[in-house]
Amino acid sequence: MPVGSLLHYYAPVLSRLLALIALLSLLAVPSPVLARDGEPVRLGLLTQRTRNPLYLLHLQPGPRRARLMDAGVLEVSVQTDWSNVWEKWSRVVAAGGQKQDIDMEVIRTGVGLRVGLPFGLEIGVEVPLITLAGGITDGTIQGWHRLLKVENGGRDRVRDGRFNYELFMPNAIDYKVDRPVVMGLGDITADLMVQVLRPRGPVPGVAARLMLKLPTGKYELGLGSGDPDLAAVVYVEHGWRRFAVYGSAGVIVFGREGPLAPILHPASFTFTGGLEFGLTQGWSLIAQVHGNTVFHRGFVHRFTNLSPVGLTIGTKVRLGPMDLGIGMEQDILNGDPTADVTLVFDIAFRVGESRALPAAGNVSP
């Protein structure tokens, strides 16, 4: 799709996003807690993961700062993602027919609690609440496609607002979620982080993270895989003045005793990368990517064999002890398992953090 068409396609969403960014900037400028010295505060990246409902069944380590909270600091966060997903195809193979029909909108709200501990440790837990529904934006997306005279990808051959979640592979899996889910409990995750290097001046920040996903979501409702997953991730961050760069790399090991075992790889490599530019001391623009090697095997459709990679553009502001963030994600490969469009909203509130001076490592060297 030409660049001009892409801009026209996303103009309605981008205009609203820019208006919200402007509002957040006005709120950030007078915030008294931000006037702490002349350097911008590092706010970190937005939450990010592959929002395809098949991928949401599994553990996905997201971006985090490589600067852990100080001992005694408590953070409560709410992270909400809205995604529109369309994956409908069927193929005939030697063993029979393969089919995937996923047509829905996904709203995932993660309620998190994190605590800073002595000796450079931090623990956290996230409770995800997931809504799977037919959605309200199918008609809008198809209208943009018609306006730009681009292919709808088959959306126009089914009714708007349709909900379907069906997966079939001969001799492997026959999975179907019969009805939408208003809001259900997903798989709870717990993690432990260790500060390896604390970011100071020319020294980059480095942290390690161990994660465990518990099988608390109901598989038959599309809310969990039915198995625990494990992950180990290394995070880095570094910056100079208004710029900061972030990255992570790790491995996810899947539990493979449940119903999804026949189509799961044993493990997946995951990565994130991001750039933060501080416009003011408490307002940053963010660009970030997230990806992983493909989780599932055995599919013949080429899009399902692509490793998902998502690009998110957004902003964050700090208002005293609270951080607010908003962003929009799009798949880079135009057809990978990443959701078609995702809007991201982050709110985090900290208790016990010193407000007299910026937290060590928050100021770019």
- Domain of 52, CATH number, reads 2.40.160.40
Query: Cα–Cα distances in Å, from 1 out to 87, 144, 267, 309?
Result: 19, 13, 34, 18
Measured over the CA atoms of residue 285, residue 337, residue 235 and residue 119, the dihedral's sign is: positive
With a cut of 80, say whether residue 250 has pLDDT above it: yes
Residue 310 lies inside a defined structural domain of this protein: yes
Q: Residue 15: is its pLDDT beyond 90?
A: no
Mean pLDDT of the 59-83 span: 96
pLDDT tier, 142 (very low <50, low <70, confident <90, very high otherwise): low
pLDDT, greater one: 216 or 334: 216
Average pLDDT, the chain: 85
d(CA 296, CA 34): 45
Q: What pTM, to 2 d.p., does this model score? A: 0.83
Say which range, 33-42, 138-147, 292-301, 309-318, has the weakest mean pLDDT.
33-42
Residue 87 lies in a domain: no
The answer as to whether 357 is a domain residue is no
The answer to whether residue 155 sits within a structural domain is no
Question: Can you give the length of the chain in residues?
Answer: 365
Mean pLDDT over residues 242-258, rounded? Answer: 95
Q: pLDDT: is 363 or 336 the higher one?
A: 336
Q: Beta-carbon neighbour count of residue 365 at 10 Å? A: 15
* Residue 119 belongs to a domain: yes
* Lowest mean pLDDT segment, chosen from 20-34, 137-151, 293-307: 20-34
pLDDT at 73 over 50: yes
Which of 30-44, 47-61, 119-133, 245-259 comes out lowest in average pLDDT?
Answer: 30-44
Is-contact 101 86, C-beta < 8 A?
Answer: no
Place of tokens 């057809």: 335
Buried b (16+ CB within 10 A) or exposed e, 296-330: bebbeeebbebbbbbbbebbbbbbeeebbbbbbbb
Q: Which is nearest to 169 in space by CA: 273, 83, 264, 34?
A: 264
- The parent domain of residue 20 ranges over 3-81+107-128+184-351
pLDDT given at position 92? 87
**Count of domains observed in the chain:** 1
Position 121 in a domain: yes
The amino acid present at 296, given as its one-letter code, is: H
Pairing verdict, β 74-93 and 243-253: unpaired
> Does any domain span residue 165?
no
Contacts of 22 (CB under 8 A, 6+ apart): none
